[in-house]
């Protein structure tokens, strides 16, 4: 079984697929960084549609189990999802500040957790980088919150773009490694 997995992992198509995925993510990430407001709005509208679909399913499910004691609450949750989803999806500029605050709070919380982890790892190798990453996360979150409402225009889109670029480099590197592994095994 391992031989089959190793053969497929070193197959030329597999390596090319990873490489092209990496390139695509890098290109889309760069576009997201260049156009952060458009990316922020697209991300917010996408989240809105997720809420609309989830709300529709929740409402449908509540009516398909009317006998259940939680019918009313299930229906109300579905309606809440539907209303919030419509608000996010159909009013492009609404909710951007809330989404930005959520992003900033996430950065601060992640930064605090990384700093605590780094402190627990000290004096092991790499603890300093973890602490640095934690402090950067906290700083980024504080800067985003302190710059509201103007940071709402670019913060989410920029972070989506940076994440796509980072993932793109990771997939590109995996594709290159798989290609090199395939060439060695040939």
User: What is the percentage of the chain residues whose pLDDT exceeds 90?
Assistant: 41
Buried b / exposed e along 121-140 (16+ C-beta atoms within 10 A): eeeeeeeeebbebbeebbeb
Average pLDDT, the chain: 86
Chain segment 68-80, per-residue pLDDT in tens? 777 888 899 999 9
How would residue 1 be classed by pLDDT, with cut points 50, 70 and 90?
Answer: very low
Q: Is the pTM of this model over 0.85?
A: no
Q: What is the pLDDT of residue 133?
A: 85
Distance, in Å, from the CA atom of 182 to the CA atom of 176, rounded to the nearest integer, reads 10
How would residue 2 be classed by pLDDT, with cut points 50, 70 and 90?
Answer: very low
How would you write the chain as a 3-class SS string? CHHHHHHHHCCHHHHHHHHHHHHHHHHHHHHHHHCHHHHHHHHHHHHHHHHHHHHHHHHHHHHHCCCCCCHHHHHHHHHHHHHHHHHHHHCCCCCHHHHHHHHHHHHHHHHHHHHHHHHHHCCCCCHHHHHHHHHHHHHHHHHHHHCCCHHHHCHHHHHHHHHHHHHHHHHHHHHHHHHHHHHHHC
Judge whether residue 181 has pLDDT over 90.
no
Judge whether residue 167 has pLDDT over 60.
yes
User: What is the percentage of the chain residues whose pLDDT exceeds 70?
Assistant: 92
Average pLDDT of the segment spanning 22-42: 94
How would residue 7 be classed by pLDDT, with cut points 50, 70 and 90?
Answer: low
For 10, phi then psi, to 5°, come to: -100, 5
Chain segment 123-151, per-residue pLDDT in tens? 887 788 889 888 998 999 999 999 999 99
Chain segment 44-53, per-residue pLDDT in tens? 899 899 999 9
């Amino acid at each position: 079984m391992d031989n089959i997995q190793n053969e497929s992992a070193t197959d030329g198509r597999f390596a090319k697929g990873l490489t092209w995925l990496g390139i695509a993510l890098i290109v889309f990430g760069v576009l997201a960084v260049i156009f952060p407001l458009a990316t922020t709005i697209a991300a917010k509208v996408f989240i809105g549609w997720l809420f609309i679909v989830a709300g529709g399913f929740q409402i449908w499910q509540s009516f398909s189990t009317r006998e259940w004691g939680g019918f009313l609450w299930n229906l109300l949750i579905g309606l809440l999802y539907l209303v919030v989803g419509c608000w996010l999806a159909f009013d492009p500029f609404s909710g951007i500040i809330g989404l930005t605050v959520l992003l900033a709070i996430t950065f601060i919380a992640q930064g605090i957790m990384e700093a605590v982890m780094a402190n627990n790892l000290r004096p092991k190798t790499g603890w300093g980088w973890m602490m640095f990453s934690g402090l950067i996360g906290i700083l980024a979150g504080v800067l985003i919150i302190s710059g509201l409402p103007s940071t709402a225009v670019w913060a989410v889109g920029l972070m989506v773009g940076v994440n796509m670029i980072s993932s793109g480099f990771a997939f590109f590197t995996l594709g290159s490694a798989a290609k090199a592994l395939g060439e060695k095994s040939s």
